[in-house]
Amino acid sequence: MPGRLLALCVLRSQSGKLIPVIRCVLRRHARTVLLRMPVLRNRLGGRQLGSHATIRAKPALIAPAALVCLPVSVGKSIRLYLADGTPGGLLTAEIMNWTGHVVAAPRSDLAALLKRPETSRTGIYVLLGDDPESLGGTLAYIGEGDEVRTRLQQHARDEEQGGKDFWDRAIVLTSKDANLTKAHARYLESRCIALAQHARRARLINGTAPPLPPLPEADESDMEYFIAQAAIILPVLPGFRS
């Protein structure tokens, strides 16, 4: 059976004018192409079907450079690397074509985590632990740092020394290209805290909810994309509740 391809394209009429097409079905090795588009008043000999027309056109009439495939569904490939070979130990995670990078480890592996080059970069982190006030619940703390390693070392101290005792797992999110700035990290921290408060899947122990820092429009868009990818990758990590 001939293969099919759903696509968005433009049709070149005999006069040379380009006409946008909503979708078409290309049959490989076929002499004609079936097209679905808004009614064009039969200018190309189409038969009216409600508000659309079905048109048979020769492949030569389709502008090849304007053909853009639209997949029916878009999958994501998440790469998990178990650094010590155990599912509950230190691991890294990334998505193809995403500049973000995730490294996570239990508190018992904190020394190995702090040796990772990712923790020397600017980024955000999430500390997770059991909530003693909720059966099966989770406590969480979201923070940021110019050098995440320094913040993790501070949180690993005893509470009498300004540390946090509740957490038993840490997740660090940084950028592989090291392009995250302090302003970017503060934006990510603020947005992630707001999202976590709205989701109510864990009890946040952050003392404050920092306001969003101003960013250029392009940077803000990049950070929202970063958050969208993080929302895909974090739920697959051990100990993280989506």
CB-count exposure of residue 50 (10 Å: 0-12, 13-18, 19+): exposed
Residue 242 lies inside a defined structural domain of this protein: no
Q: Do residues 42 and 98 both lie within one domain?
A: no
Q: Do residues 96 and 173 both lie within one domain?
A: yes
The token pair that represents 14 in the structure block? 């005999």
Average pLDDT for the chain = 78
Q: Residues of the chain with pLDDT > 90: what percent?
A: 56
Domain count across the chain: 2
Give SS3 for 137: coil
Q: Do residues 91 and 185 both lie within one domain?
A: yes
Q: Do residues 96 and 63 both lie within one domain?
A: no
Least confident of 39-43, 100-104, 184-188, 231-235: 39-43
List, for residues 178-204, the tens digit of each pLDDT value: 889 999 999 999 999 999 999 888 999
Q: Do residues 194 and 139 both lie within one domain?
A: yes
**How far apart, in whole angstroms, are the C-alpha atoms of residue 90 and residue 135?**
26
Residue 47 has pLDDT above 60, yes or no: no
Q: Do residues 137 and 208 both lie within one domain?
A: yes
Is residue 226 within 8 Å of 188, Cβ to Cβ? yes
Per-range mean pLDDT, top range of 9-13, 47-51, 83-87, 182-186: 182-186
State pTM to two decimals: 0.69
Question: Mean pLDDT throughout 220-228?
Answer: 97
